[in-house]
Amino acid sequence: MYKILIIEDEQRVATLLQAGLEEKGYSCLVAYDGVMGLKLFRSNTVDLIISDVILPKKDGFEVCKEIRNENPNIPILMLTALGSTDDKLDGFDSGADDYMVKPFDFRELYARIKVLLKRGSNIPVETKTELTYSDIFIDLMTKSVRRGDKEIKLSPKEYNLLVYMVENAEKVVTRIDIADKVWSTHFDTGTNFIDVYINYLRKKIDRGFETKLIHTKTGMGFILTDKI
């Protein structure tokens, strides 16, 4: 299932977009201002972004530029009431892939989304053989892990969790994110298995090291960082 981030300050429009896209089988996240849009982008894995231009706190052009600097490949569709050629050029200059003017036809929107998602899926992905963060080294070919000079033995679940956290270093990952991306399951709020594995991993990664890397963000999730 593709996940789409909608950044739209008009709640009625955002609700219509979310309902229409979810009816087509997409999963949606919604932000009502530019700052929240960037937070959701940085804390979630999304496949496409639909953003209005005129947004509170940070306009869509600035949001688009920041997203594009962090992810050169993610498809971005600008959606706005502005329709002049200069407006469109500003949108494309900020990194947008496509531009639609309100009011729009949902059938055209769906068609544009399909094209953008297909284009994004055809971007060659460089095959990585290793991951590093701070003094952690992961050999993806042998599935071996070191921190500094110390070899660390991990179970398959612990290994997969560490890889996901290193790939998302400096970002808060929620329990739902971990359940979805690491174990491919829906998070059951009645269980604490993710917290249990975080604790297992923390003991193996952080014990004996002065700099702690795995941190809990109360009420939000977990983050791998050496800056706390």
pLDDT at 65: 87
Q: What CATH number labels 130-224?
A: 1.10.10.10
CA atoms of 94 and 221, how far apart (whole Å)? 32
pLDDT at 128: 78
CA atoms of 90 and 62, how far apart (whole Å)? 10
pLDDT at 192: 80
Contact between 185 and 138 (Cβ < 8 Å): no
Q: Which CATH number fits domain 3-121: 3.30.565.10, 3.20.20.70, 3.40.50.2300, 3.90.1260.10?
A: 3.40.50.2300
pLDDT at 200: 92
Domain ranges of the chain: 3-121, 130-224
Residues ≥6 apart with Cβ < 8 Å to 159: 143, 145
Cα 46 to chain centroid, rounded: 5
**Tokens for 192?**
């604490």
- Asked if the bond preceding 56 is cis, omega within 30° of 0, the reply is no
pLDDT at 73: 83
Q: List the chain residues with pLDDT less than 70.
A: 82-93, 120-127, 183-191
**The domains spanning 3-121 and 130-224 adopt the same CATH topology:** no
pLDDT at 88: 55
Give the DSSP letter of residue 8.
-
Q: Please write the tens of the pLDDT for every residue from 77-120.
A: 988 776 554 555 565 567 778 888 888 888 888 988 988 888 76
**Tokens for 61?**
């052009």
pLDDT at 61: 87
What pTM did the predictor assign?
Answer: 0.53
Residue 217's H or E segment, with its range, is: strand 214-217
pLDDT at 49: 94
CB neighbourhood size of 3 (10 A): 14
